[in-house]
Structures are given as C-alpha cells and as structure tokens.
Structure 1
Amino acid sequence: MNKYQAVIIGFGKAGKTLAVTLAKAGWRVALIEQSNAMYGGTCINIGCIPTKTLVHDAQQHTDFVRAIQRKNEVVNFLRNKNFHNLADMPNIDVIDGQAEFINNHSLRVHRPGRNLEIHGEKIFINTGAPSRGSANSWNYHHAWCI
C-alpha cells in the first residue's frame, strides 16, 4: 500500500493549490483525478476558459471551425501545464482513477488494468459538485428548446 501524508481527490483549483502548498511544506501528496481530461478542473476544461475563448473569437468574427480549434488548443495547453506543474514536483504523485473509501484513512483507486490501495493521514475531497438551479433559472439545456 502506498502511504501519503495527504491524499487529495480531485484536480480542480482547490485541489491543485492545496497539493502544491503541502508539497512545498515537505508533505508527501497523492492527487487523484478520475479523468485526465479534467486536470485543472471545471474552469480550465469546460467552464470559464473555453467560454471566454469562444466569446472573444465571436467578437472578432472568427470562423466557427477556427474558433473551436483555438478553444481546444487553449484548453489543451492549460490542462497540460496544470498537469506538469504538479506531476513534475518531487513530493506529488498524480494518479488517474476513481477513488473509493476503504476506511477513514485508506482508498482504493480504480484504474484501467489494476487498482491501487492508498493510505492517507489526511484525505481531502475536492470533487466539485453540479450547480443547482432554481425554478426560474435558464441553462444550456433550455437552448435546444428555443
């Protein structure tokens, strides 16, 4: 079983900031992310950054195909940068897989091919959550109804 002082589930803004802070303080840290397409979290991959990139290109009257291509380039660049900012630090292990609690200090990480068991003195859950709209809210699901 791999042993860490801190295990962080989720590679979003809070998780990556906490991982770097603890690693710089000398802690041995594992950062678990279930999808390598989400390194860096929602903002970088499917939220703020892609949206603002597309809005900017729309304001510039950029061709749609080129705008999508540029959005993908920006997102891929930032995702890779976020991954290497953590994975290249000596005290951080980035682990792809889905975490499941075995007990208060142990996790089973389900990975293609083989599972890992990880022990953490401290375990931080940074998985995010879906937004909860109100009865009067409007979202992208409604756009298809217009």
Structure 2
Amino acid sequence: MSTLSINLGMLETKGIQAAGVIGSDYQKQIEAQTPLGRIGQPQDIAPAPVKPKEIEMDTQYYDDIIGGGKAGKTLAPALVAGRRKTALVERSLNMIGGSCPNIACIPSKTMVASAEVANTVRNSAAYGIKTTPPTVDMSAVIQRKRSVVQSLRPINLNNLHTALGDDLIIGTARFVAPKTIEVATDEGTTRLLTAERLFITVV
C-alpha cells in the first residue's frame, strides 16, 4: 500500500474527529478575537436605524428663488405678476442685484471712466486745449465708485421688496428634502420653505 493510500485512510477514519478539533479551535479563535463575546450575542447586532424627524413646513410657495442677482431680481417680479406666490432668498443685503452692480461691472466701469477722463486731460493739447498734467487721487476715485454702487443698491432692494414684501428673505438657504429648503436668516431664525419649483440663480 502506498503512502498516499495510508494517509487517505487515516483521514477517512479520523475525519469526524479531525473536523471536530478544527471546528473547536476555530470557534475559540473567533471568540478570543471578539471583544464583546461570541458571534450572535445581542451586543453584536447593529442597532436599528433612527427614524429621521419629520420636517414641519413653514410656508408653502409656488416658486422659491435662491439668489437675488440679475436673474433672481428679474424673475421674481415676473412670477409674482403671474399670480404665483414666490419667495426669494439672498444671503446678503450688500449683494442685492448680484455681482454686476456690487462688485463687478459697475464698480469696474466707474474706475475706467475716471481713467478715461485723466487720459483726455493729459492729451488735451491735441484738441487745442492747454492745461497742466492731471493728478489722479485714487482715494477719490474709489470713493466715487462706492457712491455709485451704494446709489444702485437701494433701487434693486426697493424693486424686490415691492414685488415680494416679507417673502424677500435675507439668509442662507440649503436643501433639506425634495423641494424643501432650510433658511438660516440674518435675524437668527430658521425657516423651512417648500415650493413646486425652485430656481438657483448664481449671477
């Protein structure tokens, strides 16, 4: 009889015993590696998920607009004119009207206008006008820019407030559920708004 046959015979006659030893050792190893006891004990079972709190709706609208920029300030009055109850959320009063009148187009153009005046004066001799070279007062240029911006902001705010009234909300909005936004207002309160349609205007 070959060595292979003898080994197989030993495995056949002692198979159950060998399996029992292996199974017992394996179970002991598992128990030793499990800090809370044997597998299957209650403490090993994951807790049931906590049911989320139901959201109570503050106000329901046909349309909610996030952003009081060029698109938002144009869209809101148009929706209201169509008899759709609309809310508009803008993060800052200083950004009513969007980037163009507050930090982009208008401020840049006011400074460009000052530069063009300085250039015209500097080259006035070409037009038959003699004068001393101009001196640029940058602090005055910047102050003029700010004055122009500040004169436009109340106009945009008044237009939105006329259309929306108290539905013009100053605060930060975030989505918390389908068609639902949570607004942390600048007054320190929190509002939940839901609407059939939501518009995100970013300019």
What TM-score does the superposition give when structure 2 sets the normalisation length? 0.59
Q: Which residue of 1 aligns with 2:157?
A: 83
1:19 partner letter: A
Q: For residues 9-48 of structure 1, what are the structure 2 equivalents within 5 Å?
A: 9-48=66-105
The answer to whether the Cα contact below 8 Å between 1:32 and 1:96 also exists between their aligned partners in 2 is yes
Give the letter for the 1:95 counterpart. Answer: I
SS of aligned partner of 2:74: helix
Give a deviation string over 1:48-87, Cα, whole Å, max 9, x none. Answer: 1000011101222352222111111111111111111011
TM-score if structure 1 supplies the norm length?
0.81
Give the one of 179, 191, 194 matched to 1:119: 194
Does the 8 Å CA contact 1:98/1:111 hold for their aligned counterparts?
Answer: yes
Higher relative contact order (CA 8 A, sep 6+): 1
State the Cα RMSD in Å.
Answer: 1.6
Q: What is the distance in 2 between the residues matched to 1:90 and 1:40?
A: 15
Identity over aligned residues, as a percent? 41
Q: Give yes or no for contact 1:29–1:91 (8 Å, CA) kept in 2.
A: no
Structure 2 distance, partners of 1:19, 1:9, is 10
Give the Cα separation in 2 of the matches to 1:40 and 1:90. Answer: 15
Q: Distance in 2 between matches of 1:28 and 1:3?
A: 8
Higher helix proportion: 2
Unaligned 5+ residue runs, structure 1?
A: 129-146
Corresponding residue SS for 1:107 = strand
Which 5+ residue runs of structure 2 have no aligned equivalent?
Answer: 1-57, 119-135
Greater strand share, 1 or 2?
1
